Each structure stands twice: as C-alpha cells, then as structure tokens.
Structure 1
C-alpha cells in the first residue's frame, strides 16, 4: 500500500508524553492510529490505562473522535527477555557504571519505531509520531534527535518508503509538555492526561498526587511532579 500524507501512527504507551503526542497528531492529521507495545515492562499498568484513555478521549473531544482510528497492540516480549533493566526486572533503580540509569532498555525505541514503521507500511501511513525527548530523557541515547534522524533514514532506505518520524517533545521539558496539552485541549485535556495516564516506573497506581498517579519517588514521577509544579506556577488557575 502506498503511504499517504494525511495519516499518522502514534506510539501510545499510556503515559503522559505519548498521550500529549496523540493530541498533537489529532490536531494536525485527519486520520490517526495508535500503537502500543507489551515488552514485559514492570509498569505494564500503563497498558491497562490505554483503552480507557482512548474511550474518554473520544467522548470528551468529539472533533477528534472521527479522526481516531484503529489501535494496534504488539507483543514485543523479546525485548524484556533480552534485557536486564529496572523496567523489565524487579531491580532497584540506580545509575550504572557507564553513566546511564538502569531504567534504560537497550534498543527499545529503535525496535518500537521499526515495528511501528512495519505497521505503518502495511496501513499506508507516512507519519509516525513518538514522544522521545532530549530535554527530559534521563540520558537515554535512543531518545536523541540524531538517533531519530538516523533511524528515519534507515527505515526509509530499508523499506523504500518516505516515512517522517515526528518528535513533538524533542526540545521541551515536562512543564512545556503540560503547556502543550493545555494549548491543544485546555483544562479538559490536562485533567484527562493527569488522571487517566500512567508514567510511574514502578507501576504504582495506588496514590493520586496533584500531578497524577505514581509512587512519587522514581525518576519518572520526579520529572512529572517537577514539570507539573512549574506548569502550575506559570498558570495559578491550573489544578
């Protein structure tokens, strides 16, 4: 199937960043599909919130409902089998000797985007949207802009297509990510992302904070909490 300019595929994990990217895509493209990956992640509760979030997004934003198409779920368990990380094992989160946090899952984003491109190829989709970011990326090398540009070139050469990998969050921090959600969908979208997504690395959904659910201590929670605090400080009426 030949790719067309009016379709986008969003890597939607169930977390804040990918939910914001989904809204970004729905604001720009007339047809949007989503894709998620089950790789044996320790915080797989993020997969549990995906369907309810999509249902509520459709209900709360009727203009986007007609644009939002098929959701794809991919079994990427091989990633969890091959890796020994704090996101795929019951291991305490810590820094490694190489300077990277042990939450880094080697090859994860490279494989995700390759599998997404495979689905996009079959579905005739040109635009692929992912929430990777150099500003709040915990040092993950597969979130860097150079990595994404190199992978786009490799995918285009290897599949003889002209995919475009979009990274709306690449140069912004978590506070600006909340700002983006607010600009796209106002308080309704901010509140939906706040309450219905999951970002905590430990998969803790027992505690609701002003910025959402989470343990409050892992790097993902700390980034989200700090971004929320700066976002609220810039707009005191929020929250």
Structure 2
C-alpha cells in the first residue's frame, strides 16, 4: 500500500475504470472526479455513476476505500472548442495531423482542476488514464506533457503533487490484461457491461468488448485490444462478456 490518498480522473470509460481499480489496489483512500464539458458522448456522465455503484457492490474491500465523487462543470471548455467531441461533426483528420476529436487543453485543465480539489481535500496523488502507446497523437496524453504539468502545478500550488499514469506505456490489450489482474473476471465484466468509451455515445448494442457504435476510433481501439487480449488468453471464458 502506498502512502497518501489519491484522486482519480474518472470518466467512466475503460481506461479510467482500470485506473480506479489500480488506485484502489495501491492507496488506502481514493476519491474520484469527473468533468462535464459539454461532451457529445455525455452518456459517460451517467455511466460513471453506475460503474462506481458496481465497484462498491462487487468489491467490498475496495468499497471501504472508495470515498467521495466530485463533478466539475467545465462547460466553458465545450463552448470554446470546435471538435467532434463537442459538436455534432463527423470524425475526421485535421490539417494539423490530429483527429478532430482532440479537445485542446482538455487534460491540462482536468489535472489543474483536480489538483485544486486535491489541494482542498489533502489528495496529493492524481491518477489519469493517459496513454502514449494506443493514442491518436494527442499532445496532452504524452508522458513529457504530464511530467511537465506535474512540476508546474506543484510549483504553482506550493504543494507537491504526484501525477500517476499507470496506462502510459500499455496498449489496449495490456490494459484489458491489467484489469483482469486487478479485479479478475468480475472487473472485466463490469468494464464490458457498464463502462463507456464510444465517441458517438451509442448504448443500444452490447458487443463482446462493450457498448458502442463499433466504428469510431475509440470503439476500434477497444475492440482490437479486447480481441488481442482474448487471443492471448487462449479462449479463457469471461463472466458477462
């Protein structure tokens, strides 16, 4: 068990749910924070509460460590962003070489606001699901960005913060494997049936890997990772999948 308490940036998706399980395994007290920024797939704001409820019900040893959930209204980010995650726009590549699902400054704001909440509540470890292995080139998901931001936030708040990114060097198949390692079949089943990743917000089709449209970049990453992980598991059955 690591010293101190943790605050997890929790959207209710596969990555943040795995990160929450990781934090609950490593810290004695864990709280969560979500951001409502006018995202097109706002279903995640409802789903994240279902995931929290499922974790509390299925993992009593985690439930006693899982504290308050915080939600920050970040509507201004959606108002100033012209992206496929904040507008009803087709997903495509931009002239900058990034998909138009990139919301400029999103993770920077998330960490800064999480640090403000953590400062008030004595939560000096912030946990995020950023990943530089399976990502779309988002500059605010890179390890160098997170490390630089950790230094800036710590200096600016006069309080040392640690930013943990347990998925940074894992691909999606390895992220599924980590979930299995942390919480067994029950956690994998919760991620499949409860979490949400699809950029289109589709919740009417449950695939083996979870709900989603099956074609957006987020669904594609999740599906391919799941299939690669299952292949490596040599067909081991997973409850609820």
The TM-score bracket by the shorter chain reads over 0.9
Counterpart position of 1:221? 219
Counterpart position of 2:92? 94
1:104 matches 2:102: yes
Counterpart position of 2:179? 181
Runs of 5+ unmatched residues, structure 1: none
Counterpart position of 1:234? 232
Counterpart position of 1:68? 66
Please show how residues 1-239 of structure 1 align to structure 2 within 5 Å. 5-235=3-233, 236-239=235-238
Give the secondary-structure state (helix, strand or coil) at the position aligned to 2:124.
strand
Offset of 1:230 from its aligned partner? Answer: 0.3
Cα contact 1:169–1:177 (8 A) shared by 2:
yes
Offset of 1:218 from its aligned partner? Answer: 0.1
Runs of 5+ unmatched residues, structure 2: none
Offset of 1:50 from its aligned partner? Answer: 1.1
Give the secondary-structure state (helix, strand or coil) at the position aligned to 1:55.
helix
Post-superposition CA distance 1:183-211 (Å, at most 9, x none) = 00100000011110000000000111000
Post-superposition CA distance 1:149-184 (Å, at most 9, x none) = 000000000001110000000000000000000000
Give the TM-score normalised by the residue count of structure 2. 0.97
Give the secondary-structure state (helix, strand or coil) at the position aligned to 1:201.
coil
- Count of matched residue positions in the alignment of Structure 1 and Structure 2: 236
